[in-house]
Structure 1
Amino acid sequence: MIVFPNAKINLGLRVIRKRTDGYHDIETIMYPIGLADALEVVPAADGLFGFSATGIIVEGDAEDNLCVKAFRLMQLKFGLPEVKIHLHKVIPTGAGLGGGSSDAAFALKVLRRIFTIKNCNDSLRQMAAQLGSDCSFFVDNFPAIAHGRGEELMKLSITLKGYYLLLVKPEIEVSTPWAYSKIIPSGISLPAANEIPSDVNTWQSLLSNDFESVVMDEYPQIRQIKNRMLEMGAVYSAMSGSGSAVFGLFNTQPEIQGDEFKNMFIWTQEL
């Protein structure tokens, strides 16, 4: 069975406080986009587990891959037989787009389907939260405000339909643990769900990403990309997550001139 784990963008991200368990309480709006990996999972006819990957290279041992961790979690809980997993990686890593988390959540969902496991989404979200802070978001895969570590979700009635998305990731990978180690919690919350206007033109002064100052000071190129998107006419531009990807929302399809954003990952989509 083949599924397509999609990326997300963060529409504002506030780091509220550091917790006693070492994690941080955050508030962020997560929105799913069309950029996606491809994940295939099939029962292992030979009874032997297998994992393979193509596309963007993901370093590390196979057992450390979040897809494999998701399978092992399901296997332990439900006694599943071995499977073959193939991941074709398209979503850039170290970008703040949730690619690994999405792979893990979709692995949980596809395993539930393959083995007809009676497990509700609430239970699946709890399992996903064991794999990563934003994994739970991809279980339902709807726009949501996230609280806590990012695993406490409230669906949000918000749509970007009709806007054009330009996503640019430079040849920089930002370590999320590093970003958290450098940030000073702002203690400032996002606006309440009912206070977020539908007019995207108001968001630039309303929705902030607390990671931007830390990450952009370390990597000025990321700030340059954001500024360039605003110059190009983006009605809202921000860094996604802890970076390094930057996105802009446009009323019309943005035009990229010549070598602009040369050697960078570029994704465009009408939402």
Structure 2
Amino acid sequence: MISFPNAKINIGLNVVSKRADGYHNLETVFYPVKLADALELVESEKPEFSASGIQIDGAPESNLVFKAYHLLQSKFNLPPVHLHLHKVIPFGAGLGGGSADAAFTLKVLNEYFSLELNDDQLEKYATTLGADCPFFIRNKPTFAHGIGDQFEAIELDLSGYEIILLKPEFSVGTADAYRNIIPQKSDFDLRKLADLPIEEWKDRVKNDFEKSVFPQFPQIASLKNLLYENGAEYASMSGSGSAVYGIFRHSPVDLAKFTPPGIFIYR
């Protein structure tokens, strides 16, 4: 069985307060995009994990795909399987690739072995693997809050637009993203995003991490500006970076010509 775990972008990201446990309360909209890995499951004599595409560091046991398998295996005594992941979604980009892989593993196992788990049950398992893993169970536009683990479905349809992602060769660490962040309540409620014309998003919908990340990594700011210069209706860094995306009414066919060397373009 083969599935295709897709990436997400963050439309708006507000760091609203710091919690007593040291984490931060966030508000954001998760939106699924077409960029995807490929995940294959076949039965095997022993549990195995392999990978191709973008290099994955670390032992197989540390990969979220294998952790997702062992989670359900321990609950349902599943037979051994071989899971192969062809990695396309870049790491350290703010695109949720690892979380998507874990969530899709749960969904594939549920379907293949007829476990009959509903979405609510799958989300509970996904929560134990990572804060934004549950989003990929339903995989629909979602307002996320708390530490990014509390979800409310929203009506948002960007199917009439093209979303283009730009990713520099480097990544942004979590500590770098939070450096100099001052939590504050946003003056725009992201749950009302679909009611705001996309032409007005530029002035109303912000990613708070840009204020911290752009001074440290000016190339990311330059990529965002490049998207606007080539006709994006809205452009932003996704999550804590380092990927940025642009939402276009019409495809910018010459974008590659203007993109600096070493930048990956995903459409």
TM-score by length of 1: 0.93
- Find 1:218's aligned residue among 208, 216, 228: 216
Separation in 2, partners of 1:73, 1:183: 35
> Is the alpha carbon distance of 1:189 and 1:251 closer, same or farther for their aligned partners in structure 2, counting shifts above 3 Å?
same
**Residue 18 of structure 1: aligned partner:** 18
State which drifts further: 97-106 or 149-158. Answer: 149-158
Report deviation, 1:195: 6.1
Runs of 4+ with deviation above 4 angstroms: none
> Is the alpha carbon distance of 1:81 and 1:189 closer, same or farther for their aligned partners in structure 2, counting shifts above 3 Å?
farther
Report deviation, 1:230: 1.1
Give the conservation status (yes or no) of the 8 Å contact 1:14–1:190: no
Report deviation, 1:252: 0.7
Report deviation, 1:176: 2.8
Separation in 2, partners of 1:177, 1:36: 27
Separation in 2, partners of 1:195, 1:263: 33
The residue identity in structure 2 corresponding to 1:157 is E
**Residue 240 of structure 1: aligned partner:** 238
Separation in 2, partners of 1:177, 1:65: 22
The residue identity in structure 1 corresponding to 2:265 is I
Give the conservation status (yes or no) of the 8 Å contact 1:4–1:37: yes
* Equivalent position SS for 1:131: coil
Report deviation, 1:178: 4.1
Give the conservation status (yes or no) of the 8 Å contact 1:236–1:250: yes
**Residue 94 of structure 2: aligned partner:** 96
> Is the alpha carbon distance of 1:53 and 1:190 closer, same or farther for their aligned partners in structure 2, counting shifts above 3 Å?
farther
* Equivalent position SS for 1:258: helix
Separation in 2, partners of 1:6, 1:257: 23
1:54-96 Cα deviation digits (max 9, x unpaired): 0001211111111011111111222222211100000010000
1:174-231 Cα deviation digits (max 9, x unpaired): 1235423553322326415246425211111111001111111111100000111111
**Residue 43 of structure 1: aligned partner:** 43
Give the conservation status (yes or no) of the 8 Å contact 1:25–1:149: yes
1:130-151 Cα deviation digits (max 9, x unpaired): 1111111100000010011212
Number of residue pairs matched by the alignment: 266
Separation in 1, partners of 2:192, 2:211: 27
* Equivalent position SS for 2:158: coil
**Residue 141 of structure 1: aligned partner:** 139
> Is the alpha carbon distance of 1:192 and 1:258 closer, same or farther for their aligned partners in structure 2, counting shifts above 3 Å?
closer
Q: Give the aligned CA root-mean-square deviation in angstroms.
A: 1.6
The residue identity in structure 2 corresponding to 1:128 is A
**Residue 258 of structure 1: aligned partner:** 257
The residue identity in structure 2 corresponding to 1:7 is A
> Is the alpha carbon distance of 1:189 and 1:28 closer, same or farther for their aligned partners in structure 2, counting shifts above 3 Å?
farther
> Is the alpha carbon distance of 1:265 and 1:14 closer, same or farther for their aligned partners in structure 2, counting shifts above 3 Å?
same
Q: What are the ranges of 5 or more consecutive residues in structure 2 without an aligned counterpart?
A: none
1:115-141 Cα deviation digits (max 9, x unpaired): 111211111111111111111110000
Q: What are the ranges of 5 or more consecutive residues in structure 1 without an aligned counterpart?
A: none
Give the conservation status (yes or no) of the 8 Å contact 1:13–1:190: no
The residue identity in structure 1 corresponding to 2:214 is M
**Residue 267 of structure 1: aligned partner:** 266
State which drifts further: 247-256 or 89-98. Answer: 247-256
**Residue 113 of structure 1: aligned partner:** 111
**Residue 247 of structure 2: aligned partner:** 249
**Residue 127 of structure 1: aligned partner:** 125
> Is the alpha carbon distance of 1:195 and 1:242 closer, same or farther for their aligned partners in structure 2, counting shifts above 3 Å?
closer
Identity of aligned residues (%): 48
* Equivalent position SS for 1:168: strand
**Residue 77 of structure 1: aligned partner:** 75
* Equivalent position SS for 1:230: helix
Separation in 2, partners of 1:84, 1:195: 41
